[in-house]
Amino acid sequence: MRYLFFTNTPAHVHLYKYAVRELQAMGHDVLVLGRDYGCTKDLLEYYELPHEIYGSCGTTKYSLFKSLPFHYVNIFRAVRRFKPDLIFGMGGYAAHAGAVSRTPVVLLLDSEPTSLDHVVSRPFAKAILTPHTFGKDLADNHYQFRGFKETAYLHPDVYEPSVDIRAELGLDPDEQFVVVRFNAFGSHHDVGHGGFTPERRRELISMLGERATVFVLDESEERRDGDLDTRPFDFHPALVHDVLAEASLLVADTQTMVTEAALLGTPAIRSNSFVGDDDMGNFVELERQGLISNLKSFDDVMARAEELLADDGAKARWAEKRDAFLADKVNLTDVIVQVALNYGSVETVDSLTRHTVPA
Question: What's residue 62's pLDDT?
Answer: 63
The reported pTM is 0.89
Question: In which band, very low, low, confident or very high, does the pLDDT at 351 lie, cut at 50, 70 and 90?
Answer: low
Nearest alpha-carbon partner for 267 in 286, 291, 296, 238: 291
Question: What's residue 194's pLDDT?
Answer: 61
- pLDDT tens, 10-29? 999 999 999 999 999 999 99
Question: Which amino acid appears at position 270 of this protein?
Answer: R
Return d(Cα 273, Cα 271) in angstroms, integer: 7
The whole-angstrom distance between residue 219's C-alpha and the CA centroid of its chain comes to: 14
pLDDT at 264 over 50: yes
Question: What's residue 136's pLDDT?
Answer: 74
Mean pLDDT of 103-123: 77
Task: Delimit the domains of the chain by residue range.
Answer: 2-155+329-354, 165-327
Question: What's residue 4's pLDDT?
Answer: 98
Return d(Cα 92, Cα 73) in angstroms, integer: 14
Is 287 or 63 the better-scoring residue by pLDDT?
287
Question: In which band, very low, low, confident or very high, does the pLDDT at 343 lie, cut at 50, 70 and 90?
Answer: confident
- Same topology, domains 2-155+329-354 and 165-327? Answer is yes
DSSP 91-122: SHHHHHHHHHHT--EEEE---TT-HHHHHHHG
Return d(Cα 82, Cα 91) in angstroms, integer: 20
- pLDDT tens, 202-259? 999 999 999 999 999 887 655 555 546 677 777 899 999 999 999 999 999 988 999 9
pLDDT at 193 over 70: no
Question: 51 φ, ψ to 5°?
Answer: -145, 160
CATH for 165-327 is 3.40.50.2000
Question: In which band, very low, low, confident or very high, does the pLDDT at 114 lie, cut at 50, 70 and 90?
Answer: low
Question: What's residue 228's pLDDT?
Answer: 65
In the chain, % helix, strand, coil (3-state, to 5) comes to 45, 20, 40
- pLDDT tens, 125-172? 889 999 999 877 777 888 899 999 999 999 999 999 989 999 999 999
Q: What is the DSSP pairing of strand 29-36 with strand 105-108?
A: unpaired
Question: In which band, very low, low, confident or very high, does the pLDDT at 306 lie, cut at 50, 70 and 90?
Answer: very high
With 0-12 / 13-18 / 19 or more C-beta atoms within 10 angstroms meaning exposed / middle / buried, residue 48 is exposed
- 2-155+329-354 belongs to which homologous superfamily? Glycogen Phosphorylase B; (3.40.50.2000)
pLDDT at 321 over 80: yes
Question: What's residue 138's pLDDT?
Answer: 75
- pLDDT tens, 32-84? 999 999 899 999 999 999 999 999 987 665 666 778 889 999 999 999 999 99
Return d(Cα 269, Cα 253) in angstroms, integer: 8
Question: What's residue 188's pLDDT?
Answer: 44
